[in-house]
Amino acid sequence: MTYYLLRFFDTKLAVFRGIGNENLLYIALFATFANKKYQKSMKDCKGNHLLKLFSHCPKCGAEAFVEDTEKSKRCEACGFVYFMNPSASTVAIIVDDQDRLLAVRRSKEPAKGTLDLPGGFCDCYETGEEGVRREVMEETGLTVNTARYLFSLPNMYHFGGMDIPTLDLFFLCKVQRTEGATAMDDAGEVLWLPWEDVRAEDFGLKSISLGVSRLLQMHASEPATFR
Ligand SMILES: [Zn+2]
């Protein structure tokens, strides 16, 4: 039995090796173990759940706005169904030619004073790539030339007394020039951190902290990705 189990996993590994992307194996294993626990913690978030706070129908204003499923509410007066979906948000990973990661210090709540990566909510009608480019410009003054999607993580963003569910999209960004990065907007300070000084626990937002720990492992296993 053990033999067949080992053969099974070996076959799985061979498939990943065949694809030629070692990160894929790491990402797949990571997704299976750490992500499940993380996703459960998001679901169990004790904050003010958006659906609970919405007491009236946003379409007709009726009070008969009742729970429909765990992700929706339904109006008994007009039949309108509101689905709670995450807001798209972007995260920029920018590395300079000395192999240092660009971090910013959060100047506003939530997690004020902790480290963050540049980024923020996507505007309506904007692509993720456009969103990350705009946010990097707004927070650091740097111009993003290319943005390559790496992975995504769900988060709960505590804002205005409510927990806003987000889906954070992580992009590896190449900038025109790394010189002259200046802290603006939500960023209180800009820091270039050598990878050995990057600590996931210094990043205050849960998804960013988990994302940074994933980036650290990617950097250790395949540093060329960030060059
Ligand atoms: Zn209604």
Q: For 131-188, what is each residue's pLDDT tens digit?
A: 999 999 999 999 999 999 999 999 998 888 888 899 999 999 999 999 989 888 887 8
Ligand 1 centroid–CA 65 distance in Å is: 7
Q: What tokens were used for 190?
A: 């800009």
Q: Is the pTM of this model over 0.85?
A: no
- 103 Cα–ligand 1 center, Å: 45
Summarize pLDDT for 182-217 with one digit per residue, the tens. Answer: 888 887 899 999 999 999 999 999 999 999 999 999
pLDDT category of residue 109 using cuts at 50, 70 and 90? confident
Q: Which domain holds residue 108?
A: 87-226
Can you read off the two tokens belonging to residue 52? 């609970």
Percent of the chain clearing pLDDT 70 (strictly above): 83
**Distance from the alpha carbon of residue 82 to the mean position of ligand 1, in angstroms:** 10
Q: Are 18 and 104 part of one and the same domain?
A: no
Residues 57, 93, single domain; the answer is no
Domain count, the chain: 3
Residue 78 and residue 131 in one domain: no
> ∠ at Cα 107 (104, 108), nearest 5°?
125
Together in a domain, 100 and 180: yes
If asked whether residues 108 and 217 sit together in one domain, one would say yes
Compute the distance between CA of residue 59 and CA of residue 63 in angstroms, rounded to an integer. Answer: 11
Distance 74 CA to ligand 1 centre (A): 8
Q: With a cut of 50, say whether residue 9 has pLDDT above it.
A: no
Q: Which pair of tokens denotes residue 50?
A: 């958006």
69 Cα to the center of ligand 1, angstroms: 17
- HSE toward the beta carbon, residue 170, CA cutoff 13 A: 19
Cβ-Cβ contacts under 8 Å for 222 (sequence gap 6 or more): 22, 23
Å from CA of 58 to ligand 1 middle: 7
CA–CA gap between residue 227 and residue 43 (Å, rounded): 36
Per DSSP bridges, beta strands 87-93 and 162-175 are parallel
- How many whole angstroms from 158 Cα to the centroid of ligand 1? 27
Cα of 61 from ligand 1 centre, angstroms: 6
Judge if 196 and 107 occupy the same domain: yes
pLDDT digits (tens, 9 = 90+) for 55-99: 999 999 999 999 999 889 999 999 999 999 999 999 999 999 999
Residues 160 and 198 in one domain: yes
Beta-strand relationship, 187-194 and 72-75: unpaired
Residues 14 and 95 in one domain: no
pLDDT at 14: 40
Do residues 121 and 32 share a domain? Answer: no
Instruction: Identify whether the C-beta of residue 175 lies closer than 8 Å to the C-beta of residue 145.
Output: yes
Per this entry, what is the length of the chain? 227
CB within 5 A of ion ligand 1: which residues? 57, 59-60, 62, 75, 77-78, 80
